Amino acid sequence: MTDEKDAQPPTPRWSQRRRILIVLCLNAALIVGLVVAGVVANSVSVLAAAGDTIADCVGLVLGLIAIRLRDRDPDHPHANRPIAIVALINAVFLLIVTATVVAEAVARLLEGSPPVEGLPVVIVAVITMVVMLVGAVVLGRSAADEDLHMRSVLIDALADAASAAAIAVAGAVILVTNGFYWLDPVLALAVSALIAIAAVQLLVKAIAALRGKDVDFDDD
């Protein structure tokens, strides 16, 4: 006879760790490709995506650590504090990446955008979009109703997929016209704006949580 405990599905906490680990592996696999494609294509928007992906990986690693610390004593009054700290660090990383990309994009617009190779941009952007959508599927719709960190990971995956789609379109335009190179830094600024908005929102929630306010970290 099968033990009832053995027949039970994985706990939500284990499910969180497993899903985040899968998404982390997907993101890590993208980094080298994005950096190489960004350098080869001379694309600041692709390099922006690479920087965002590196920041995401750092946030995911810290998230795994935070979830593990929380799960040691989930009933502790400050059990969710590690999640808030991770959200805060992740937001700061995103803002640093955004500032770097904005500086480079503005410099290119002021000095005149250099030629960009459209084909590598299209290929890597499409691959990135598919990988991010797979990551969102792995996280599942339930992630939006879990804690702040899980929601931020899901939103970030969907935002990255949308950004990759926009980069693919810009790359296609550059490829077909052999011009419109200014689209690359302009798109990098647009992506940076979206990242900055999400980072600021995450930062505000994290600070509020660390100050003891109810931020609805865990409603599962």
Structure confidence by residue, pLDDT tens digits, 72-130: 766 665 656 777 787 788 788 888 888 888 998 899 889 888 889 999 999 999 999 99
* Nearest by Cα to 218 from 139, 149, 156: 149
Most confident of 4-8, 29-33, 200-204, 212-216: 29-33
The pTM of this model reads 0.70
Q: Which of 212, 195, 202 is nearest to 48 (CA)?
A: 195
Report the C-alpha gap between 113 and 219 in whole angstroms.
48
- 156 Cβ contact partners less than 8 Å away, ≥ 6 residues apart: 56, 198
Distance, in Å, from the CA atom of 101 to the CA atom of 49, rounded to the nearest integer, reads: 9
Q: Parse the chain into domains and list their residue ranges.
A: 12-210
**Strand, helix or coil for residue 3:** coil
- Residue type for position 210: L
Q: Indicate whether 185 pLDDT > 60.
A: yes
Highest mean pLDDT among 8-12, 114-118, 213-217: 114-118
The secondary structure element, H or E, covering residue 98 is helix 81-111
Percent of the chain past pLDDT 90, that is, above it, reads: 18
Of the candidates 206, 202, 197, which has an alpha carbon nearest to the alpha carbon of residue 98?
197
